Structure 1
């Protein structure tokens, strides 16, 4: 599933269910593009029983030069595509096209979103970062503990020194919730 604006400098938030070998756990790959910039990927093993455990946080860090996807209207997209050259265990597991026709569906899908007007203003106002507001929806300490447990499950761009030997992005050093 993808939330995306249009154009070369687009904002985009992806949730992708990656393939697997039969019997292996499914992986959710998440990615955030801001102003056309990518490389903010995380992967999680999913057990489909979330129990109020957060799966992804991208803090608003514009003060340190990290773009935040809040200045463009976005739409929700959903598709099925073959990414077996990288997505399934680094490309080791290939898609078996003899098992096609592949389908995906969403049931009882709800989205809580800001509405953009024709003059490019949002109904959310200026403070949309729920984790830094004084009225957080969950105890922050418990939230951080649960998120750290989830992040140990697969891949996090903020701990991928092999892929980014030149250094991690600024928000990786800033927040406990990357």
Structure 2
């Protein structure tokens, strides 16, 4: 169910930028890029995983036979995770491109998950950004939010990022925060704290992705190609013998992601997030009183 929030400017299909976002700190410039072949292993659909530029970039392809997916070689206790993506153009209903953290391989029935999902649309270029969080087995309570993008994501690469530490989870698009989930008294019971792997996938979600499955994937327009580059995975790598084993890839010390600098958003980031949410968010689980007769506790905080 979609709920339109008061004050939202209706989305108008455009070949260029719809809005110009406020200036924000460029977090993606703070961390080094990793080659896809160094950071990820193939998860599935190997025939649809096409490495480019000596393994620095990758195209993930969806066709009638299969989708495709990658999984990080390391698990993380927390970190900053980012990728530049260029999305398929044309009729993309039913397609989901996901960039997310999960430990469902270790906890298959009560896992943690932090999702960026890009949902195709029955109209050209109207991709939707959906974010979601599951923590400590709260897999039966969706915490989805949905926003339109302020640009055409099919014509160029744009950066999609997740910051996850003990203080908060922040979702960013081109460094603009679009959602913050704070670790506080209300949210701590469902706050993800167990190690997770990072995934990148493209897949057929015809059953639910576009208006509850009304518009399935139309393979007349296949293959559908999602391009990834500028990979960043920085933070606390999980090690069973140590509290935290992290790569020395960043000049930020003592902790590149878990330290005080990343404990809260700056005023510029808060302004950017307010801008994005007021102009472009059209669904939040905290507004969905039809779905939830009793809203989750963090909605009241």
Structure 2 distance, partners of 1:114, 1:157, is: 30
Q: Does 1:61 align with 2:152?
A: no
Post-superposition offset of 1:170: 0.6
Of the two, which has the highest radius of gyration?
2
- Match status 1:3 vs 2:130: no
- Give the SS at the match of 1:107: strand
What corresponds to 2:232 in structure 1? Answer: 110
Quote the residue 2:114 is aligned against: 13
Unaligned runs of 5+ in 1: none
* TM-superposed deviation, 1:46: 1.4
5 Å-filtered alignment, 1:1-178, equals 1-5=99-103, 6-7=106-107, 8-23=109-124, 25-38=126-139, 39-48=142-151, 50=173, 52-62=175-185, 65-70=188-193, 72-119=194-241, 121-122=243-244, 128=258, 133=263, 136-139=264-267, 142-143=271-272, 145-146=274-275, 148-149=277-278, 153-165=281-293, 167-174=294-301
Aligned partners of 2:266 and 2:220: how far apart in 1? 46
**Relative to total residues, which structure has the larger strand share, 1 or 2?**
2
8 Å contact 2:186–2:298 — kept in the other structure?
no
RMSD: 3.0
CA–CA distance in structure 2, aligned partners of residues 117 and 128 of structure 1: 16
SS at match of 2:286: helix
> CA 1:55/1:65 → structure 2, altered by over 3 Å: closer, same or farther?
closer
How has the CA–CA distance of structure 1 residues 105 and 24 changed in structure 2, closer, same or farther, with 3 Å as cutoff? closer
d(CA) in 2 for partners of 1:107, 1:141: 27
Cα 1:51–1:105, aligned 2, differ >3 Å: closer, same or farther? Answer: closer
Matched-pair contact (CA < 8 Å) for 1:73–1:120: no
Q: How many equivalent pairs are there?
A: 168
8 Å CA contact 1:43, 1:156 repeated in 2: yes
TM-score, scaled relative to structure 1: 0.77
Q: Distance in 1 between matches of 2:200 and 2:287?
A: 28
Distance in 2 (alpha carbons) for counterparts of 1:168 and 1:46: 27
Q: Deviations over 1:80-114 (max 9, x none)?
A: 22212221133222210222222322111213332
Distance 1:79 1:145 in 2: 29
